[in-house]
Structure 1
Amino acid sequence: MLTFLLLLATAIFVLYRYYCSVNKKWEQRGIPGPKPEFLFGNLREIWDFDKPRSLVLRDWTKQFGKIYGFFEGQRPFIVVSDFETINEIIVKKFDHFYPRARFALQERKDGPSTRIIEARGPHWKRLRALGSMAFTNKSLRNILSTVEDSATNVVDGMGRHQGEINTLEYFQEYTLDVICKVALGMRDVKMFNNEYLASCRGIFYRPLRHPVTVLPSLFPSVVNEIRGLFFLLCKNPYNYSFQYNISAKLAIVRSPFVVLMEMLKKNVEDRKAQRANGLKSTGDFIDLFLDAEVDVSEVQFGEDSDTARRLSSDEIVGQCLVFLLAGFDTTSNSLAYTTHFLANHDDVQKKLIDEIDSFLIENETIEVERLNELPYMDAVIKESLRHYPLGSTVVTRECAKSCEIGGFKFEIGDQIATDTWSMHMDENVWGKYAKEFRPERWLEESSRPRAAFQSFGEGPRICLGMRLAYIEEKIALIKLLSRFTIEKTTNTNPIKLLGSLTVGPEKVMVKLVKRYSV
């Protein structure tokens, strides 16, 4: 018994010393930052849903400067908001920083189920090449009418509502409707009655203090084991019925992520069966991926060779999952933010309406290429995104080759997070009036490099669906502002920001006023 207690005490002491040494990593390298707690690091400071991680990093930047370190549990991160350094990391020295920093529950090595947002090296290049086929000019032209129909339907729904409305709820319905139809071929999906909506909201509106996030952050060396246990507990043995079961009851909650994966997997398998029976291709993303073929040879990821020219079923599900989630949350948030700004800036709204009216007079139909003839709309959208950058938590990198940038030494394995929120308000980059909402800044001559704007990332890993997002936003604004003006109400200001994976408004309340009888 005494021997056992001595061994236990020794083990506890060794673990204690180990975790204490991890917490000194940045201190030993002379990197400032918030003081970490034992085991948790700074995790408890960034896991509140009511104060998103990105806003905490912004506050720390004010306190510790443009380069500092913090600890997501036992996962050390360097936070950068210095533009020149960020430009070197994500653009100029991409070969030194090509991987994204791993997510908490991500596998230690790439495998068949690794998604494009997580993939590295040749595996990422392969998935990127295959995935880009969904966003060619031809593909975007093919889906334009679907986007228009969805935009018309959501504006019709807004118009039927009396009094003030929460635009965020409507835009979530819109973006989900679009992505379900163009990515998943769900032609019979019903707006305002979409079975995917609850799962999508469940993924984005979940606090970071959830065990699925906390445990891998506290014990990153056994993340594969934690990941395996998580999926085991969430596995549904009743094929694709989504009711609770014995294994799900063992979990704290039925994971919306796993539910969504199961739904997508069923959708892909059904499509493969339909194609085998001679069903005509619908031209959506699933069909594109099933048909996808590129000239790839000796592609490798991890320790396994991957020479397949076609995507596997798991990879197709992974691609669809990424496009579904990215297309749902970020674009709906962006549109909601834009309506908030328009409600508060009548002069901007009037200019935008005038541009839309002129555009519609000159164009009987909307075409992808013609959307570029709306420069002021483009400026309004970008200025909104500058104030509320999307997906800032995924603009991360991991140092693959040690190097020095601006006198700062990055070592192999360093995980870097960009503080986009601070950089987008940096007066050294955006001028004296950086905090003002002024779309005209995007129409003026400027020596500001592209990488100063990080809402979609930049460099080779820039968001693959960026063009689709802009198309969805522009068409929605055309349909909305050609029929209504947006007015603020007593509940419009201020907006409350929430989130974990992304930062979004709790709600955006405005009133729509008909411009004329339709």
Structure 2
Amino acid sequence: MAFLVYFLAAAATAAFAVYRYLVWQSQYWRRKGVPGPASRLFYGNVREINQFYEPMPMKIHEWTKEYGKVYGYKEGVRNVLVTSDLDMITEVFVKQFDNFYARRAPPLPQDLDNNPKVNLFESRGARWKRLRGLASPSFSINSLKKIRPIVEDSAIRMVDVMGKRHGAGESFDASRFFSEFTLDTICRLVLGQKESTIFDNPRIDVVQKIFLQSMDRPLFHFAVGVPGAGLSLRNIGKKLNMHTPNPDQNRIFMEIENAVRARVKERETSGAPDASADFIDLFLDSAAEFEYQNRGDFSTQASVAKALTVDEVIAQAVVFLLAGYDTTSNALSYTTWMLSRNPEVMKRCQEEIDEVCTDSSISYEDCQNLRYLDAVCRETLRFFPLAARAVARTCMKDTTVGGYEIDKDTIVMADTFAVHFNKDLWGEDVDEFKPERWLESDRRVAAINFLTFGAGPRLCVGMRLATLEEKIALAHMLRKFDVLADEQVSKLTLMGNLTTTPERVPIKINPRI
């Protein structure tokens, strides 16, 4: 009996201690005098930011309107400071990069220091600097000129199918076509796929599921609510051979790994090719076995090894496939929607394309000269920033930004929508779709004002490729068709957790006369 009493007393004491700890955690921002939404015990605000049909960037912007330019919220035990103050954003993403070189970790993070397969997006510190330096040449002007024919071939095939299926003028969902196009392109560039498989690619549904998975799930809530739980859960899943929740995803990752290792064996037998055929070759050109150091203090001035391991090549191929597919597909979807809603803009794009692109093939130089189309793409991405969730950094050492003391491990996030619709930055016509604003010489857009591709040294490395793909696809589409609005639909329904994706993009097309 006495033992039971002692046990119950100990259990009650432990429960009370856990309760007090959760209360103390939930009041982190209140103790610092920083406004923000009320935080629930254990979960914090994670359930509010993970609503599938109210994507996180929308919720963040809603809170900005309520709490001001700087406020805090909780993701379980993680502290997040949100800012739309441009001076603070510049400080975090540019001036104090050595203190904010890491991205926010996902709910189920990798061991970024010791895992041999860490990709460029998730990497940090010395490993990030090394991977970034080796990835950048893959997106140079010379590299883009080499891969342009592949991009154009996939674009032409997409436009041909679009015309055959929907050229009669009925409404259809354009987003599926753009998903097929970007996956086809990236499979040819990353996996060395020889022929186009548009509308015959078995990977499309699986890849879409990866990006459309809901994060409003108990597993993710538990992972952010308990310190260290995310990494432990990932390690347990790895030991049980459960790398991802979906076995189809595992098959795609294994396909990429097999493609890389097959190319390694091919090189061992025949030697490296004279000209790199795709991104795998480009990365394998830098592959070597070596001892690398990924820990310790980070400095942009420190020197790093100029080589990749084969495991890192596999990781880069995976992230390039996924990121290259989703972002460009969404950019095309949003831009086509805006063209359908602004017929005068569409006509001006067509006139420019007719004037600049005089050959059947659209060259790299043609794309560079499509200045108005480029302005349309940029203005669209001001309205619909692609990866606003990713415009965040983790504080790696205690510091002060804008008068706020930032503790180590705090996530600092920019409210991209607040910046993109700030009248002080963009003018009183900020709510108008006005591509001309990007061409006005007296109103040059500062880089930090446009956060679609991030900011600072971790600016999206694939930005040039994404822009090339988008302009080639749009140029070929607008050459052949007028893009018209579906009068039955007045606005897009946005969804998603990892990225913000349109549920459908209903448009009509008519052949140009």
Common fold, TM-score beyond 0.5? yes
* Mapped partners of 1:279, 1:193: distance in 2: 33
Displacement after TM superposition at 1:493 (Å): 2.1
* Mapped partners of 2:278, 2:219: distance in 1: 32
Aligned match of 1:502: 499
Aligned match of 1:367: 363
Within the candidate set 100, 103, 106, 2:103 is matched to 100
CA deviations over 1:427-453 (Å, ceiling 9, x no partner): 111111111111011011225421110
1:300 matched to 2:297? The reply is no
CA deviations over 1:228-268 (Å, ceiling 9, x no partner): 123334548xxxxxxxxxxxxxx9x5255444322221221
Displacement after TM superposition at 1:308 (Å): 6.4
Of 189-198 and 123-132, the range deviating more from structure 2: 189-198
* Mapped partners of 2:186, 2:309: distance in 1: 21
Displacement after TM superposition at 1:109 (Å): 4.2
Residues 448, 280 of structure 1: alpha-carbon distance in 2 compared, 3 angstrom cutoff: closer
Residues 16, 259 of structure 1: alpha-carbon distance in 2 compared, 3 angstrom cutoff: farther
Aligned match of 1:58: 61
Gaps of 5+ in 1: 237-250
CA contact under 8 A between 1:106 and 1:118: conserved in structure 2? no
Aligned match of 1:16: 19
* Mapped partners of 2:25, 2:148: distance in 1: 51
Displacement after TM superposition at 1:9 (Å): 2.2
Within the candidate set 435, 439, 463, 2:435 is matched to 439
Residues 483, 205 of structure 1: alpha-carbon distance in 2 compared, 3 angstrom cutoff: same
Q: SS at 2:368's partner residue?
A: helix
Aligned match of 1:152: 156
* Mapped partners of 2:220, 2:364: distance in 1: 40
* Mapped partners of 2:23, 2:196: distance in 1: 53
Aligned match of 1:245: none
Aligned match of 2:483: 486
1:272 matched to 2:229? The reply is no
Aligned match of 1:287: 281
Q: SS at 1:204's partner residue?
A: helix
CA contact under 8 A between 1:339 and 1:486: conserved in structure 2? yes
* Mapped partners of 1:302, 1:3: distance in 2: 45
Letter paired with 2:315: G
* Mapped partners of 1:492, 1:467: distance in 2: 32
Aligned match of 2:378: 382
CA contact under 8 A between 1:108 and 1:223: conserved in structure 2? no
Letter paired with 1:284: D
Aligned match of 1:89: 92
Matched length = 498
Aligned match of 1:204: 211
Aligned match of 2:139: 135
Within the candidate set 246, 268, 293, 1:254 is matched to 246
CA contact under 8 A between 2:84 and 2:415: conserved in structure 1? yes
* Mapped partners of 1:418, 1:303: distance in 2: 27
Q: SS at 2:357's partner residue?
A: helix
1:124 matched to 2:120? The reply is no
Gaps of 5+ in 2: 298-302
Q: SS at 1:202's partner residue?
A: helix
Residues 108, 311 of structure 1: alpha-carbon distance in 2 compared, 3 angstrom cutoff: closer
Aligned match of 1:168: 175
* Mapped partners of 1:307, 1:148: distance in 2: 36
* Mapped partners of 1:197, 1:297: distance in 2: 36
Displacement after TM superposition at 1:292 (Å): 1.3
* Mapped partners of 2:292, 2:71: distance in 1: 37
Letter paired with 1:114: V
Residues 110, 502 of structure 1: alpha-carbon distance in 2 compared, 3 angstrom cutoff: same
Q: SS at 1:513's partner residue?
A: strand
CA contact under 8 A between 1:199 and 1:259: conserved in structure 2? no
* Mapped partners of 1:405, 1:216: distance in 2: 29
* Mapped partners of 2:409, 2:215: distance in 1: 23
Aligned match of 2:117: 113
Displacement after TM superposition at 1:510 (Å): 0.6
Residues 233, 52 of structure 1: alpha-carbon distance in 2 compared, 3 angstrom cutoff: farther
Of 140-149 and 8-17, the range deviating more from structure 2: 8-17
Displacement after TM superposition at 1:22 (Å): 0.9
Displacement after TM superposition at 1:372 (Å): 1.4
1:215 matched to 2:222? The reply is yes
CA contact under 8 A between 1:391 and 1:502: conserved in structure 2? yes
CA contact under 8 A between 2:256 and 2:318: conserved in structure 1? yes
* Mapped partners of 1:156, 1:370: distance in 2: 21
Displacement after TM superposition at 1:364 (Å): 5.8
CA contact under 8 A between 1:371 and 1:471: conserved in structure 2? yes
* Mapped partners of 1:225, 1:394: distance in 2: 23
Displacement after TM superposition at 1:338 (Å): 0.6
Map 1:432-471 onto structure 2 (within 5 A). 432-444=428-440, 445-446=442-443, 448-471=445-468
Aligned match of 1:424: 420
Displacement after TM superposition at 1:62 (Å): 0.5
Map 1:184-195 onto structure 2 (within 5 A). 184-188=191-195, 190-195=197-202
Displacement after TM superposition at 1:307 (Å): 7.8
1:513 matched to 2:505? The reply is no
Residues 3, 256 of structure 1: alpha-carbon distance in 2 compared, 3 angstrom cutoff: farther
Pairwise CA RMSD of aligned residues? Answer: 2.3
Letter paired with 2:294: F
Q: Normalization by structure 2: what TM-score?
A: 0.92
1:331 matched to 2:328? The reply is yes
Seq. identity, %: 37
